[in-house]
């Protein structure tokens, strides 16, 4: 009889308080994990889906900056059956139980919620970020952690040396034992088995519960607040830390054409924009359709997209989108966007509840939600003019900030869909 593998009792903290200043103006009214991604998701959906698919379902989401949009999304999209009391996704803002300050760092946010750990008494505590696009079976990292008898394990992404200087680097030996850290070094240390690559820290950690609790108390006494800069280097002096190679993680249902070990830090506007094109095409680098490892998000009660006429080339269309005799190429249109006759869009991200009026032309543009692009507008063609009205990155990407109010998306006859007001 096959022996049944017993999963340790695990609880998770998801760090979802990121301000996302480099994503302005997309983070003008929302935190970074709440920023939309792809045709129907938000950035936070990827880490939450990984946890749920990995059978880790006691999840606390620690929020701070501009969190209301994210809180509303969690309320609508991430309700787990109340019949299973240990299965939940719960939003936790700063409670100030241990002082009158907000979270002052990643480690401090967990320190301020030590009561939750003591209440659940888990064997392991998983601490993951909410800022990246990827799939990961966390159970495989848990097995690695247990087999190595680690006190803490760090998810490590092998990255070409020339691309890794903007990240924290983990120095590890051939067995994965962590030997040191480098913070955005000019010359990163290579992986022992691959001199062309370095281990980049993904900001995802597994801790033995007793080790984490003691470390957080010690860190608080030292008035230090961050996992990467303070807690992990402190633990390295006295405990066993191991780097888990993310490239070894296997996800069921991945197609042959997808990029194995896909992971993107979408912390800048240009990186966020480029990652969207990884989900387009017949053979995308990251195929969002994977029934064996789904990405969950909110359900929408509106109708499917409608194409009245025009030319559509390599696009994703959200629910209740209407394209009425327009030309749309290499674009992602989220729900209830309306593209009027004669409009031309190329390499664009059009978010929810946007109307692009007759004859408007947009190129390499992100239009945030609740906007009306006026008839005949030209965006993405004259950088000097664009800078006078919108945000333009050094590469020429144009970002139209969120509008102030919602509106009824209207079809070509002027009648509202009635799903958003």
Q: Are residues 249 and 331 in the same domain?
A: no
Q: Are residues 259 and 364 in the same domain?
A: no
Report pLDDT for 421: 31
3-state secondary structure of 292: coil
Distance of CA 382 to the CA centre of its chain: 32
Domain carrying residue 313: 306-400
Boundary of a domain, candidates 245, 265, 285: 265
38 within 8 A of 288, measured Cβ to Cβ: yes
The verdict on residue 406 lying in a domain is no
Instruction: Indicate which CATH number applies to the domain containing 20.
Output: 3.90.550.10
Report pLDDT for 300: 85
Is pLDDT of 386 > 90? yes
Task: Name the pLDDT band for 110 (thresholds 50, 70, 90).
Answer: very high
Q: Are residues 204 and 71 in the same domain?
A: yes
Beta bridge partners of 168: 183
Mean local confidence (pLDDT), 48-68: 94
Beta bridge partners of 326: 310
Q: Are residues 243 and 391 in the same domain?
A: no
Q: Are residues 354 and 261 in the same domain?
A: no
Is pLDDT of 335 > 60? yes
The verdict on residue 394 lying in a domain is yes
Question: For 173-201, how does the pLDDT look when each residue is reduced to its tens digit (9 = 90+)?
Answer: 999 999 999 988 989 999 988 999 999 99
Q: Are residues 161 and 235 in the same domain?
A: yes
Is pLDDT of 97 > 80? no
Burial of 191: CB neighbours in 10 Å, binned 0-12, 13-18, 19+: buried
Mean local confidence (pLDDT), 131-149: 97
The verdict on residue 418 lying in a domain is no
The verdict on residue 5 lying in a domain is no
CA atoms within 13 A on the CB side of 324: 19
Distance of CA 109 to the CA centre of its chain: 19
In the chain, how many domains are there? Answer: 2
**Can you tell me the distance from the alpha carbon of 336 to that of 333, in angstroms, rounded to the nearest whole number?**
9
The verdict on residue 277 lying in a domain is no
Is pLDDT of 4 > 60? no
The verdict on residue 170 lying in a domain is yes
pLDDT exceeding 70 applies to what percent of the chain? 93
Task: Name the pLDDT band for 420 (thresholds 50, 70, 90).
Answer: very low
Q: Are residues 253 and 341 in the same domain?
A: no
Q: Are residues 94 and 192 in the same domain?
A: yes
* This model's pTM is above 0.85: yes
353 within 8 A of 369, measured Cβ to Cβ: yes
Mean local confidence (pLDDT), 376-402: 96
Report pLDDT for 5: 54
**Can you tell me the distance from the alpha carbon of 262 to that of 273, in angstroms, rounded to the nearest whole number?**
16
Distance of CA 329 to the CA centre of its chain: 25
Report pLDDT for 57: 93
The verdict on residue 230 lying in a domain is yes
Is pLDDT of 45 > 80? yes
The verdict on residue 136 lying in a domain is yes
**Can you tell me the distance from the alpha carbon of 60 to that of 12, in angstroms, rounded to the nearest whole number?**
6
Beta bridge partners of 332: 316, 349
Task: Name the pLDDT band for 133 (thresholds 50, 70, 90).
Answer: very high
Q: Are residues 77 and 211 in the same domain?
A: yes
Q: Are residues 125 and 261 in the same domain?
A: yes
For residue 416, which phi and psi values (nearest 5 degrees)? -75, 145
For the residues of 209-255, what is the DSSP string, one character each?
HHHHHHHHHHHHHTT---IIIIIHHHHHTTS-EEEEEGGG---TT--
3-state secondary structure of 16: coil
Is pLDDT of 273 > 90? yes
Q: Are residues 128 and 232 in the same domain?
A: yes
Task: Name the pLDDT band for 204 (thresholds 50, 70, 90).
Answer: very high
What separation in angstroms does the CA of 227 have from each of 154, 235, 342? 11, 10, 52
**Can you tell me the distance from the alpha carbon of 379 to that of 381, in angstroms, rounded to the nearest whole number?**
6
For residue 47, which phi and psi values (nearest 5 degrees)? -70, -40
Instruction: Indicate which CATH number applies to the domain containing 317.
Output: 2.160.10.10
Beta bridge partners of 127: 13, 205
Q: What does pLDDT average to over the chain?
A: 91
Report pLDDT for 415: 43
Report pLDDT for 136: 98
Q: Are residues 182 and 105 in the same domain?
A: yes
């Amino acid at each position: 009889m096959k022996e049944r593998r017993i999963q340790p009792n695990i609880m998770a903290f998801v760090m979802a308080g990121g301000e996302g200043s480099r994503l302005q103006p997309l983070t003008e009214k929302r935190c970074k994990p709440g920023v939309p991604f792809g045709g129907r998701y938000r950035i936070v959906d990827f880490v939450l889906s990984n946890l749920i698919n990995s059978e880790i379902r006691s999840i606390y989401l620690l929020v701070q900056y501009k969190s209301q949009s994210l809180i509303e999304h969690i309320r609508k999209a991430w309700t787990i059956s109340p019949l299973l009391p240990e299965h939940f996704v719960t939003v936790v803002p700063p409670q100030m139980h241990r002082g009158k300050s907000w979270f002052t760092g990643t480690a401090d946010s967990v320190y301020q919620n030590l009561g939750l750990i003591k209440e659940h008494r888990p064997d392991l505590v998983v601490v993951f970020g909410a800022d990246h696009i990827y799939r990961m079976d966390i159970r495989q990292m848990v097995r690695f952690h247990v087999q190595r008898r680690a006190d803490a394990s760090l998810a490590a992404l092998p990255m070409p040396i020339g691309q890794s200087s903007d990240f924290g680097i983990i120095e590890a030996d051939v067995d994965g034992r962590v030997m040191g850290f480098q913070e955005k070094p000019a010359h990163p240390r290579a992986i022992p088995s691959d001199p062309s690559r370095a281990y980049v820290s993904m900001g995802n950690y597994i801790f033995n519960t007793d080790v984490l609790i003691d470390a957080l108390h010690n860190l608080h006494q030292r008035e230090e607040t961050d996992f990467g800069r303070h807690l992990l280097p402190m633990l390295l002096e006295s405990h066993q830390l191991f780097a888990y190679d993310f490239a070894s993680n296997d996800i069921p249902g991945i197609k042959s054409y997808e990029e194995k070990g896909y992971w993107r830090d979408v912390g800048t506007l240009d990186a966020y924009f480029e990652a969207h094109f990884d989900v387009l095409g017949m053979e995308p680098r990251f195929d969002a359709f994977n029934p064996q490892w789904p990405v969950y998000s909110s359900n929408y009660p509106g109708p499917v997209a409608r194409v009245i006429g025009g030319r559509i080339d390599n696009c994703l269309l959200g629910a209740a989108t209407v394209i009425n005799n327009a030309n749309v190429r290499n674009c992602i249109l989220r729900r209830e966007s309306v593209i009027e006759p004669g409009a031309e869009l190329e390499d664009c991200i059009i978010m929810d509840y946007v109307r692009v009026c007759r004859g408007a032309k947009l190129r390499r543009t992100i239009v945030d939600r609740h906007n009306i692009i006026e008839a005949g507008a030209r965006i993405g063609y004259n950088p000097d003019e664009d800078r006078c009205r919108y945000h333009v990155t050094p590469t020429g990407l144009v970002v139209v900030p969120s509008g102030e109010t919602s509106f009824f998306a209207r079809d070509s006859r002027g009648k509202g869909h009635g799903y958003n007001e």
